[in-house]
């Protein structure tokens, strides 16, 4: 009981701190003539459901000086045809599409592709912006991403993702997990490579190319890099990017395990993340188990009390999720982007998905602590340490028939 009360008070305080900071965001801004030249790097393996939308949006940024560098895993990949067809239109934006030429065995394919994109940049490029294929940038995305870098104390800016609950159980669980993850990423300054900008000078000074050559992911490590250089990470509230993809429960479990693995390998606050992740499923699980045991042993009053306390805690979580959802929707409305309303059936599914999400996250945490191999878009990597990564075998992305065209890869 006391554990649930303490956990509830923590969740309320955490939500209040985040929402207050999120709603009161202010930032420095460049004048148009001051905006630095930017290169956007997009690394592709597999044709994500909304890839064409992403590419079209990148061609239509309200920004005077930028170029787009796209590195596709191979010319056999369906993403190659989509990229060449979508970006083949006449545009004022300089575009380069190239296949990945060097597939390093000591890092992920994404890191290899990013290294290729960055090493081929021109000397006058001051900022590098990273974007993922599941991000659909609004017209002011690049301007909002770059503007805080006017402050010399800020070395990196980042946005975050907001998942639409969707219809499949995996999609709903991913939405619930991500609500908590957004707050933790903000609190612990965890950068997200789906919307990220960093000074080119810092890439050179911090020898990021050399780090990426031995890394599994490109973004989580940057918190430590910024700390070493005495620079800040700026989370830009207006860059909450909506993801409308669907995923199954097995896909969600693999995805969340990989997110946690990135934090374990590269983030200095991994122990705090692990502790939070453990208590948020362990305390409710113990309360539910205690209630069941009490009822089975004839202690009806105690069982009902514990069960009611657990139900009250779940209700509180749903209320807090509603607070987060309202704050996010307000930000999205400023750029004329609307989210679908939640139906009664979808709300019931959300309620049932709370314990399911906690169970799957507990499994993912356990797997993260023990894992030595991980699969990412069909490629298996051996993980012996943060800088001891091995790609076991390469082959082009293999497509399976998808019954849902919106399904995440």
Instruction: Name the 3-class secondary structure at 201.
Output: helix
* Under 8 Å between Cβ of 211 and 221: yes
**Residues paired with 160 in a beta bridge:** 240
Closest alpha carbon to 196 in 170, 160, 168: 160
Beta bridge partners of 315: none
Torsion of CA 380, 386, 390, 394, to 10 degrees: 50
Does the pLDDT of residue 221 top 90, yes or no?
yes
Whole-number Å distance between alpha carbons of 209 and 221: 12
The runs of H, that is alpha helices, within 87-168 are 109-119, 141-146
Q: Residue 164 gets which letter from DSSP?
A: -
Whole-number pLDDT of residue 30: 66
Q: Which of 154-158, 309-313, 333-337 has the highest mean pLDDT?
A: 154-158
Q: How confident is the model at residue 89, as a pLDDT?
A: 83
- pLDDT for 367: 87
Res. 28 pLDDT band, cuts 50 70 90: low
Write the pLDDT tens digit of every residue in 172-204. 999 999 998 998 898 888 999 999 999 999 999
Q: How confident is the model at residue 325 (pLDDT cuts 50, 70, 90)?
A: very high
Specify the pTM.
Answer: 0.93
Structure confidence at residue 280 (pLDDT): 87
Three-class DSSP labels, 145-172: HHHHHHCCCEEEEEEEEEECCCCCHHHH
Domain boundaries, the chain: 2-16+271-391, 28-171+178-247
Instruction: Give me the residues paired with residue 233 across strands.
Output: 156
pLDDT in tens, 156-172: 999 999 999 988 999 99
b (16+ CB within 10 A) / e for 366-403? ebbeeeeebebebbebebeebeebebeeeeebeeeeee
Burial 292-303 (b: 16+ CB within 10 A, else e): eebeeeeeeebb
246/381 Cα distance (integer angstroms): 25
| 13 has a pLDDT exceeding 90 | no
At 36, is the secondary structure helix, strand, or coil?
coil
CATH class (in words) of the domain with range 28-171+178-247: alpha beta
């Amino acid at each position: 009981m006391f554990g649930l009360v303490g956990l509830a008070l923590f969740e309320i305080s955490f939500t209040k701190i985040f929402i207050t900071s999120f709603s009161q965001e202010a930032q420095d801004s460049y004048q148009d003539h001051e905006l630095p030249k930017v290169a956007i790097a997009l690394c592709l393996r597999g044709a994500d459901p909304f890839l064409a939308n992403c590419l079209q949006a990148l061609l239509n940024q309200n920004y005077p000086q930028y170029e787009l560098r796209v590195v596709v895993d191979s010319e056999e990949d369906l993403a190659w045809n989509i990229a060449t067809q979508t970006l083949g239109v006449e545009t004022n934006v300089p575009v380069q599409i190239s296949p990945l030429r060097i597939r390093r065995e000591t890092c992920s394919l994404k890191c290899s592709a990013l290294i290729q994109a960055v090493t081929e940049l021109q000397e006058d490029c001051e900022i590098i912006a990273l974007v993922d294929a599941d991000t659909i940038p609004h017209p002011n995305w690049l301007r909002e991403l770059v503007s805080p870098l006017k402050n010399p104390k800020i070395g990196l800016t980042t946005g975050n993702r907001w998942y639409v609950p969707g219809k499949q159980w995996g999609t709903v669980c991913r939405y619930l997990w991500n609500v908590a993850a957004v707050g933790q990423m903000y609190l612990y300054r965890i950068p997200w490579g789906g919307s990220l900008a960093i000074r080119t000078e810092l890439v050179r000074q911090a020898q990021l190319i050399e780090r990426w050559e031995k890394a599994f992911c490109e973004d989580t490590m940057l918190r430590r890099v910024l700390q070493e250089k005495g620079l800040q990470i700026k989370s830009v509230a207006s860059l909450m990017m909506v993801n409308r993809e669907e995923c199954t429960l097995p896909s969600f479990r693999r995805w969340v395990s990989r997110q946690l693995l990135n934090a374990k390998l590269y983030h200095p606050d991994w122990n705090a993340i692990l502790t939070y992740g453990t208590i948020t499923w362990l305390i409710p699980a113990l309360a539910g188990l205690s209630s069941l045991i009490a009822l089975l042993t004839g202690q009806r009053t105690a069982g009902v009390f514990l069960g009611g306390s657990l139900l009250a805690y779940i209700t509180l979580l749903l209320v807090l999720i509603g607070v987060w959802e309202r704050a996010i929707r307000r930000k999205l409305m400023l750029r004329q982007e609307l989210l679908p309303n939640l139906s009664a059936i979808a709300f019931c599914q959300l309620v049932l998905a709370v314990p399911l999400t906690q169970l799957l996250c507990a499994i993912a945490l356990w797997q993260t602590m023990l894992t030595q191999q991980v699969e990412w878009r069909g490629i298996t990597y051996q993980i012996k340490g943060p800088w001891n990564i091995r790609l076991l075998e390469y082959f082009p992305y293999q497509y399976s028939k998808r019954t849902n065209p919106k399904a995440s890869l």
